[in-house]
Amino acid sequence: MEAVQKLAPHQQQAFMKEMEHMQLKDSLSMYNNLVGRCFDGCVTSFRSKTLDKSEISCIEHCADRYVKMTQRVGLRFAEHQAMQQKKMELGK
């Protein structure tokens, strides 16, 4: 983020706007993946226009596992980034 602080104010604003756009796009992509994966794995028939109890339960468990997995991956990525940063600092 030091490099961003060295930019002109209008460039900082443009950079932050682009970052927000990327985060929104990633969030929507994650949501779409979650919906697609859980729907495909849990909804097995179209006998009625509402989900039955087993489908609802399956979707809830699927979504919970997906969110927990995503959080775990994020934590591991942050740990990896911190380790890489330490290595770079020690190498200076």
Domain that holds residue 35: 2-91
Output the CA angle 26-28-33, nearest 5 degrees: 95
pLDDT at residue 74, rounded to an integer: 92
* Backbone dihedral angles phi then psi of residue 21, each to the nearest 5 degrees: -60, -45
- Condensed to tens digits (0 to 9), the pLDDT of residues 18-48 reads 999 999 999 999 899 999 999 999 998 888 8
Q: Residue 4 is which amino acid?
A: V
User: How many domains does the structure of the chain reveal?
Assistant: 1
- The CATH number of the domain holding residue 38 is 1.10.287.810
pTM of the model: 0.65
Q: pLDDT class for 1, splitting at 50, 70, 90? A: low
- Condensed to tens digits (0 to 9), the pLDDT of residues 61-74 reads 999 999 999 899 99
CA distance 13 to 18: 9
